[in-house]
Amino acid sequence: MLNETHAPDLKCWLASAAPGGDFPIQNLPFGVFRPAGGSQPMRGGIAIGDMILDLAAASALGLFDGLAAEGAALAARPELNDFMAAGRDRWSALRLAVSRLLRVGAPQAEAVRACLRPQAQAEYGLPCRIGDYTDFFTSYDHMINSGRVFRPDAPPLPNFKWMPIGYHGRASSVEVSGARLRRPSGQLPPGEGGRPEFGPSRRMDYEMELGVFVGPGNARGTAIALDAAPEHLFGVCLLNDWSARDIQAWEALPLGPFLAKNFLTTISPWIVTFEALAPFRSALPRTADDPEALPYLRPADGALAGYDIELEVALATRAGGGAAQRLSRSSYRHAYWGPAQLLAHHTRNGCNLRPGDLLGSGTQSGPGPAEQGCLLELSRGGREPVRLSNGERRAFLEDGDTVVMRGWCERPGFARIGFGECRGTLLAAGDA
């Protein structure tokens, strides 16, 4: 899957796309934007350095031909669904064409420069129309840690190592980074009187996840085989699955989360394609004691079914003056199930997926003491609040807290690429 776009010695003529940032020439993620403060329609773009390549403007100048031109015309639209549906040939052709236009020495550099827009002066929309959203449970460490909080006497889930566990989320409340969140209300667990209380959640939390976007879908009644999944997987973004833990504890059994999670899911604006992530594939974590996966979930011998994506969550508080400090850092390489397995399992019963559908990875936690992907784990269910550098403590989120998630990939022999930010602020229950 590696090609000339991954070469670590590629240089862009745009100074801000220098190596070490999130958006060098080896990345080229897709998103939807428009100039901030105006009424122009959204249009597709590609992040490069601190700029955005406006694909509608570049297409109008005739900078693409062949499959790349077809892909650019689709990717320039206000939603990326049609581009996602177009398949890997057009995705790859457009990415290669843009890479060549942005390289040092490209003869069209001045024409391309006229199509660049500053990221700092843009506002972003959802990259596509999300018809359905499914959230999975792929981190073994998160399963163990959260289980110790919610059901300390229960053994590990017996089905976890046999299949990717998931539930259907709420697509209508998925919003792009920067969304502000009112503290949600719901039924809270019964106290001494045995009667539940209704009111604002007192245990608000984040979940550090990745979001996987589906490309071409499948017809209802058919399944996507594991080895065919790369043809149906478009790209990855950061995802914050906001969670009201007290509501969750009361309602989750027997059917899983409902009001505890359906009020908002925040995603980052840029989708990093699986082609850009090819240098960072990794083996799935397995031990000799783990069961052999059923055939439909079993990668070919030697297959690298996971991805080494570093993930970090930071918190900015009102008292801290807006400076974000890191709470935890982990990696997607710890995930027990990879993206292709999520897709194969989701469709195995004939469920039809569509371009733009979103699959959440579930909270990404690692085995280390600072690798937990949510406050539920970090604070041991609130029993051991996290101490911040300014002296504050957090068992769960407080009003005015801003959660900032970042992700990146780096490996010797390849250029570092990143995902940008996924940011959101918790407001009091009555705030607008």
Between the alpha carbon of residue 80 and those of residues 43, 97, 150, 252, 347, the distances in Å are 9, 18, 39, 34, 22
Residue with tokens 């901030």: 36
Sign of CA dihedral 250, 156, 396, 169: negative
The answer to whether 135 is annotated as binding is: yes
396 annotated as belonging to a binding site for a ligand: no
209 labeled part of a ligand binding site: yes
> What is the DSSP secondary-structure string of 77-140?
SSSSHHHHHT-HHHHHHHHHHHHHHHBTT-TTHHHHHTTEEEGGGEEE--SS----EEEEE--H
Name the residue among 240, 264, 260 with its Cα closest to residue 404.
Answer: 240
Is 6 known to be catalytic? no
Of the listed 142, 334, 345, 346, which one is catalytic?
A: 142
Q: Is 357 annotated as belonging to a binding site?
A: no
The answer on whether 248 is annotated among ligand-binding residues is yes
Asked whether 422 and 268 are in contact (CB, 8 A), the reply is yes
Consult the annotation and say whether 207 binds a ligand.
yes
Strand runs (DSSP E) across 242-300, as ranges? Answer: 243-244, 265-267, 272-273, 281-282
Task: Flag whether 40 is marked binding.
Answer: no
- β partners of residue 401: none
Cα–Cα distance measured from residue 242 to residue 165, given in angstroms and rounded to the nearest whole number = 19
Residue 65 labeled ligand binder = no
Place of tokens 């502000």: 180
List the catalytic residues.
142
Residues in binding site: 135, 137, 151, 207, 209, 241, 248, 261, 265, 363
Binding-site residue set for Ca(2+):
135, 207, 209, 241
* Residue positions forming the annotated binding site for Mg(2+): 241, 261, 265
